[in-house]
Amino acid sequence: MQEIAPNIFIAKNSLGLITGIIHPQEGLVLIDSPTRLDDIETLGSARSKPSLRFLVILDTNYDRLLSAKGMDFIIVAHCNSVSTTKPKSGAAISSEDQSTQGDTLDSFNGSMRQFTPEIVFQKDLSFFLGSMEIRLEHHSGVNHAGIWVEVPQQKVLFVGDAVMGAEPPFLAYFNADTWLADLDQLTSEHFAGYQIISSRCGIVTPEQINAMRTSVTFIRDMLNPLLESKASLEEILKLIPQVINYYNVPPLLQDLYYNRLRWGLTTYYENHR
């Protein structure tokens, strides 16, 4: 666990997500869920147990939903998270965690059915823990239920999967043009001096944002002509080796990322044809 600002920490959970812990005296906010809850208890051992305990789910990727199971927190999510469209094809294999190799899209949607946030919002939502303001804002580029969490007082911004680092992205519910606009915001004057936190690669550099912009453009420019020509799913899936080569994926990770891209492109195709 790493403290990146006063009362704000990041930690990697067992599913590989970089999660956030915002823990002033007046309450506790988790950005996705760390799996070592004893770390949180240790962190708060010198304080009374906060009565306000929130868990913010940054999008509908199933590793996030899995990490939220069994959490005794008020769950906050975007309203689109409760209306995710089920893909028409059940053949694709869900792919984020090799330890759950038996999971299919049906089990993914089982996780969705168990996901019941207590608080949802459409555009933005702000609340205070003492004097600390926490702003939630909808950003649908990477996912139609995507959320950014901003702590303006500390100049910290959690952006979920908007920046992926060296990993191929999740494509099931993305919008390339909106995603590119989101990335432009990250390099705008508004976020100058901010620590920007990705769920996949931690504290983000300007170079990583620029690289993400280039990769989203690359994928969009390959995918759009196929969609416009009414290409079949089989033709769409032929893009996967090109994306894997673009990211120079190590051999040991190729199956993992192939499955991620196959699931994502299958879901995207079924929802846009």
pLDDT tens digits, 147-189:
999 999 999 999 999 999 999 999 999 999 999 999 999 999 9
Residues 236, 265 contacting (CB under 8 angstroms):
yes
Q: Phi and psi for 109 in degrees, rounded to 5?
A: -70, -25
Question: Is residue 248 predicted with pLDDT exceeding 50?
Answer: yes
Which CA distances in Å does 185 have to 38, 148, 172, 180, 215? 36, 12, 22, 9, 17
Q: Quick one: pLDDT at residue 169?
A: 95
Q: How far apart are CA 249 and CA 255, in angstroms?
A: 10
Question: Is residue 98 predicted with pLDDT exceeding 50?
Answer: no
38-65 per-position pLDDT tens digit: 556 555 544 556 578 999 999 998 878 8
Question: Is residue 93 predicted with pLDDT exceeding 90?
Answer: no
Q: Quick one: pLDDT at residue 55?
A: 93
Tell which CATH architecture fits domain 2-272: 4-Layer Sandwich (3.60)
Task: Give residue limits of the domains in the chain.
Answer: 2-272
Q: pLDDT band at 91, cuts 50/70/90?
A: very low
Which one has a higher pLDDT value, 99 or 75? 75
Average pLDDT estimate for 9-20: 90
Query: What type of residue is 169?
Result: P
Q: What SS3 string covers 40-93? A: HHHHCCCCCCCCCEEEECCCCCHHHHHHHCCCCCEEEEEHHHHCCCCCCCCCCE
Q: Phi and psi for 258 in degrees, rounded to 5?
A: -60, -45
SS3 for 254?
A: helix
Q: In what order do the strands lie in the sheet with 124-129?
A: 124-129, 132-138, 147-151, 156-158, 195-198, 202-203
Residues 57, 73 contacting (CB under 8 angstroms):
no
Q: pLDDT band at 71, cuts 50/70/90?
A: confident
Residues 216, 175 contacting (CB under 8 angstroms):
no
195-243 per-position pLDDT tens digit: 999 999 999 999 999 999 999 999 999 999 999 999 999 999 999 999 9
